[in-house]
Structure 1
Amino acid sequence: MLFSALPKAQGLYDPDNESDSCGVAMITDILGRRSHSIVVDGLTALEHLEHRGAAGAEPNSGDGAGILLQLPVELFAGVVDFDLPAPTADGMNTYAAGICFLPQDEDSRADARARIESIAAEENLEILGWRALPIDPDGAGVGATALSCMPYFAQLFVAAPERCGGIDLDRRVYPLRKRAEATDDSEDEALGVYFPTLSSRTIAYKGMLTTMQLPQFFPDLRDDRCLSAIAIVHSRFSTNTFPSWPLAHPFRFVAHNGEINTVRGNRNRMHAREAKLSSELIPGDLSRLSPICPRDGSDSASFDQVLELLHLGGRSLPHAVLMMIPEAWENNTTMGPARRAFWQYHASLMEPWDGPACVTFTDGTVVGAVLDRNGLRPGRWWRTIDNRIILASESGVLDVPSAEVVAKGRLEPGKMFLVDTAAHRVIP
């Protein structure tokens, strides 16, 4: 595993048996109003989930913390020293950006960057520029263990020649990211690359940090120009696992509390399907994207990788989530025929990814959460008078006076809670 102290399988130890248990929260402006206050609220909620995370013998080397936001285009416009293309007529970003974990060694880093730029050219993508991402490990007080495997942080900006945007651009950059991250078992891990996100819609700031360290480590998060209408945050407790920089949450679409206990079978089924994968929307031969879910990732990472494929392959994100986390429908005699047909059809395409698990997710427009059919991970939500939704694995992540709460509830097994910030509505 890149940027990790995770050892290889040896003796009685097998990294495939690792799992984690965590705290998760999402803050959303229902009306889609981008503001720095949503980012601040997300970071505040994250700090209040400190007890759900963990650290080892060093209290300043955390198991992981992170935040997933809408792409902060206002910030990037003011900090990069190259031109960024204008959005489309309907407001979609026409460039993708993402943080890239690169080797600390200068020569290896140069090789990795050259490899990324070469793949981009092969995929007919234009590299707009690189930004040396500001970090402050000393100010954040990052511990020695986390520092020993910390990557170099760069930010990549890329566009398509035809200046497409939104999910169309994300489909174009998906092969770039998958190919850049691909590693061979015989390859020196120092040449490895990892993108927490590479998207025109969202960006993740995360690492092997504690919840308190995250905003100090990434100065971008404290910049008033960092605006978003959505924030998903996560505090990781790697129960019997080795922490690492890439395995901190959120991933590209999800942050997850719990574990996927069927993950070995799910991965095996995905590997068996890879030879038959095809898509009219994702360009080129999909065999170059294999493996879809490498075995060195966590259960959450594998879930996110399969969800990404389903979404970019043409399904809406909520649709793809429901394919992977169905409700208990087989013996439900009160279920209507149309709903039963939905589950029956998708059962032939995808086996359940069973937890216990509470999964929050976003594509930058819709944001939601779902509890798997076991129903053993809590999730509570509040709607406030100023049209915010707060959803978390427990109460009290934000101090909201009861007079400002207009509705509240909890996640139910197999049921989805969804907010559409474009349509300005909640879909409970």
Structure 2
Amino acid sequence: MLPAKQGLYDPDNEHDNCGAGFICSLKGKKTNDIIHKALDILDCLEHRGAVSADGKTGDGAGILIEIPHDFLLGQCEFKLPELHHYAVGMVFLPKKENQRSFCISVLENEVKKQGLEVLGWRKVPVDPTVVGSIAALTEPVIMQIFIGRGSESLSDHKFNIKLFCARKISEHTILQSKLSQASYFYLPSLSTHTLIYKGLLIPEDIKGYYKDLEDPAVVTRLALVHQRFSTNTFPTWDLAQPFRYMCHNGEINTYKGNFSRMQVREELLENEIFGPEIKKILPIILPGKSDSASMDMTLELLLATGRSLPEVMMMLVPEAWEKHTYMDDNKKAFYKYNSCIMEPWDGPASIPFTDGKFIGALLDRN
């Protein structure tokens, strides 16, 4: 939880500068070795972050992998559909039992309102002894929610839209409540393809904290890793990366303008895909989040409109196209057209990204 604006501190100035990387199988083969190598990358990024006075609380670290379907089949006490026919949500919840029950109830109710089915919950096995004393003060209870389509006729895109709406509405409902631990509620991921393990940890403790990552049955074709360095921010569990579709190293120096533009757009936001639900998911960018988190929320909205991940990344982080003599005319026309829809989120920054189907990375034009 971030402190209120005071003295020289203003939460609107949240930035960070970190270390990020990814690894994938070019043959599309799922292995446990990918996870080991990704965690090795993460360990090598430790110098890109900072450590608190307790020697164990980091600025935040994490890993994004594909949903380990076969592993989860053996872990869940309820039946799971085929891979990609259900979603898994990693959920951070309050420590206080009554507040945790309220958050679970809100999320389940919103899922059901969307016509989806709550298949069950799983307590994520963690080792709290590896958490630093400072991080332990705000350590959430971590669970996984499993959500079914409710109807076999529901398309992949519509299923993802309903998941998006259920999560956003739940976030707003809980953050607007008077719960003392409302800020604990957070979903690092809710997807049919990816799963995120992250926290206020140092890189070497990610695999020790999340016991799932030590199981050889957990396999993936790809992994995204991130070590956060809070240049002028307060480290929190939810601001650890990766975020749902990307992680980020650098600064978004146009952030205040980007944030203001997104606020203005919300007054005019309409989309036949969302219908009347679109007003319930506002604001798109939650208050008090970092530049990276805000960019990820914007990316998520653009993906929900049916655009592909590469297309959205080119919209958000365009090349220096205007005076590029040798650029293909069609590519230049793409940038020119989309500059009317979305202003650039300019760094300098490097941004690895994935939706579980595409994976890549780019540098901005600075």
Note whether the superposition's TM-score is higher than 0.5: yes
Which shows bigger deviation, 232-241 or 245-254?
A: 232-241
Aligned equivalent of 1:155: 144
Residue 50 in 1 paired to residue 46 in 2?
Answer: yes
Q: Deviations over 1:312-349 (max 9, x none)?
A: 21100010010000011122233333222111100000
Q: Deviations over 1:374-397 (max 9, x none)?
A: 0xxxxxxxxxxxxxxxxxxxxxxx
Contact 1:62 1:210 in 2 (8 A): yes
TM-score with structure 1 setting the length: 0.82
1:4-83 matches, within 5 Å, as: 4=1, 6-83=2-79
Aligned equivalent of 1:370: 362
Cα deviation, residue 276, structure 1 = 2.2
Partner SS state of residue 135, structure 1: coil
Cα deviation, residue 136, structure 1 = 0.5
CA separation in 2, counterparts of 1:335 and 1:199?
Answer: 36
TM-score with structure 2 setting the length: 0.96
Distance 1:259 1:156, change over 3 A: same
The count of corresponding residues between Structure 1 and Structure 2 is 363
Distance 1:364 1:186, change over 3 A: closer
Cα deviation, residue 366, structure 1 = 0.8
Aligned equivalent of 1:323: 315
Cα deviation, residue 279, structure 1 = 2.8
The structure 1 segments of at least 4 consecutive aligned residues displaced by more than 6 Å after TM superposition are none
Distance 1:275 1:249, change over 3 A: same
The gaps in structure 2 that reach 5 residues or longer are: none
Q: Deviations over 1:84-128 (max 9, x none)?
A: 1134xxxxx111001101000011111111111111121111100
Partner SS state of residue 99, structure 1: strand
Cα deviation, residue 284, structure 1 = 4.7
Residue 212 in 1 paired to residue 204 in 2?
Answer: yes
Contact 1:109 1:191 in 2 (8 A): no
Contact 1:160 1:172 in 2 (8 A): no
Q: Percent identity?
A: 43
Aligned equivalent of 1:169: 159
Give the letter for the 2:171 counterpart: E
CA separation in 1, counterparts of 2:62 and 2:200?
Answer: 9
Give the letter for the 1:145 counterpart: I
Distance 1:166 1:48, change over 3 A: farther
Distance 1:297 1:36, change over 3 A: same
Alignment counterpart, residue 335 of structure 2, candidates 331, 343, 368: 343
CA separation in 1, counterparts of 2:123 and 2:337?
Answer: 47
The gaps in structure 1 that reach 5 residues or longer are: 88-92, 375-428
Partner SS state of residue 197, structure 1: strand
Which shows bigger deviation, 166-175 or 143-152?
A: 166-175
Aligned equivalent of 1:382: none
Aligned equivalent of 2:107: 116
1:92-131 matches, within 5 Å, as: 93-131=84-122
CA separation in 2, counterparts of 1:223 and 1:278?
Answer: 45
Distance 1:71 1:186, change over 3 A: closer
Q: Deviations over 1:153-205 (max 9, x none)?
A: 11100112113464442222011111111155563342342100000111110
CA separation in 2, counterparts of 1:189 and 1:165?
Answer: 38
Q: Deviations over 1:46-72 (max 9, x none)?
A: 111111111121210010000011111
Cα deviation, residue 282, structure 1 = 4.1
CA RMSD of aligned residues (A): 1.5
